[in-house]
Amino acid sequence: MAETIYRTRGLSRVYATGAAAVRALDAVDLDVPAGEFVVLLGPSGSGKSTLLNILGGLDRATGGEAWFRDRSLTEMDEADLTRYRRDHVGFVFQFYNLVASLTARENVQLVTDIAADPMSPDEALGLVGLGPRVNHFPAELSGGEQQRVAIARAIAKRPEVLLCDEPTGALDSQTGVQVLDALAEVNARFATTCLVITHNAAIREMAHRVIRFQDGRVAEVEVNTTRRAASEIAW
């Protein structure tokens, strides 16, 4: 049995917007084994992004507890969380979030500048097949290429977890497959735990584990015995 990398107990997040309080996450208990490729499915507002944000140290829970290995994320202060993000977590976002004024290499360098034991930006870009385009600015890259830069940026620090929020949401199917392929490759090669949020049910076939969300709760956890490669998926 693999080590558990994330564990949550009664994890809750309530947003107070005006008079009505919104329960984005409602007492979630979850265990994520290290090294798995995990897909989080669910409709909008079901709590997937909130969970990812808390696990990634971007947001704070309002109740319950969450652990990264044996460290309590819910007890970390601001500086600890920053440190945690810097050392352990890689993020990939739906809209890539590349800095427009930096080239592909420089966008990756943003991470390698501050990480403890990073690979070189060129190596990271090579891993996602962007070796020849390192000096291009985001505006000169296609959507799929931009997302791969974002993946290169996320993996360059050799993170233990890769948190991806709708990484293919803005991409067409063919480019989406390339991006998923890159993620699967990272997962297989470096045993990086991947948590991938998606609206796209087809992607679940790639996963070791699929977690379905509904109304801020975990509705179902499904473990795949057989996985398909990204290239076999279509939507």
Partner 1 sequence: MVSALSRKLGRDLVRLWSQAAAIALVLACGVAILLMSLGMFQALETTREAYYDRQRFADVFARATRAPRALMPEIAALPGVVAAEARVAGLVTLDLAGRSRPGMGQVLSLPAAGGPPRLNVPILAAGRLPDPEARDEVLVNAAFAKANGLRPGDRLIANLNGRKRDLAITGTALSPEFVYTLGPGALMPDNAGYGILWLPDRAAAAAFDLQGAFNDVSLALAGGADANAVIDALDRLLAPYGGTGAHGRDQQLSDAFVTAEIQQLKAMAWILPPVFFGISAFLVHMVLGRIVALERPVIGLLKALGYSNLAVAGHYLMLAALTAAAGILLGWGVGTWLSRALAELYAQFFDFPYLVWRAQPGPYAVAGLLGLAAASGGALQAAIAAGRLPPAEAMRPPAPPRYGRTLSDRLLAGAGLGQPAMMVWRGILRWPLRSGLTLLGLALAVAVMVAANFLDDALDKLIDIAFTQAARQDAALILAQEAPAIAVEEVRALPGVLMAEGQTSQPAILRHGPRERRIGIEARPPGADLARTVDAEGRPVALPPRGLLLSSRLADRLEAGPGDVIEAEFLTGRREIHRLPVAGIVEQYFGLGAYMQADALAALRREAPRIGAVNVALDPAAEAEFDAALKDIPALAGTVMLTQVRRSFEDTIAQNVVIMNTIYITVAVLITFGVTYNGARIQLSERARDLASLRILGFTRGEVSGILVGESLVLAVAAQPVGWAIGASIAGALAHGSQSDLYAVPVVLKPATFAAASLLVLAAAAGSALVVRRRLDRLDLVSVLKTRE
Give me the least distance between CB of 152 and partner 1, in Å please.
13
Give me the least distance between CB of 232 and partner 1, in Å please.
31
CA distance 136 to 147: 14
Give the contacts of 153 (CB within 8 A, at least 6 positions apart).
90, 98, 107, 108, 110, 111, 124
For the chain, what's the residue count? 235
> Which of 93, 190 has the CB closer to partner 1?
93
Dihedral of alpha carbons 208, 6, 96, 115, sign: negative
> Which of 99, 219 has the CB closer to partner 1?
99
- Spatial contact of 179 and 167, defined as CB atoms under 8 Å apart: yes
Tokens standing for residue 39: 């897909």
> Which of 50, 175 has the CB closer to partner 1?
50
Give me the least distance between CB of 78 and partner 1, in Å please.
7
Sheet holding 71-72, edge to edge: 20-33, 4-17, 63-68, 71-72
DSSP string, 12-57: EEEEEETTEEEEEEEEEEEEEETT-EEEEE--TTSSHHHHHHHHTT
Give me the least distance between CB of 51 and partner 1, in Å please.
11
Give me the least distance between CB of 142 and partner 1, in Å please.
16
Q: Pinpoint the alpha helices (H) of 128-190.
A: 143-155, 173-190
> Which of 33, 169 has the CB closer to partner 1?
169
Residues that bind partner 1 (CB under 8 A): 53, 56, 58-60, 78-79, 82-83, 85-87, 89, 91, 93, 95, 97, 99, 101-102, 106-107, 109-111, 113-115, 153
> Which of 152, 177 has the CB closer to partner 1?
152
> Which of 7, 88 has the CB closer to partner 1?
88
Give me the least distance between CB of 163 and partner 1, in Å please.
9
- Spatial contact of 187 and 194, defined as CB atoms under 8 Å apart: yes
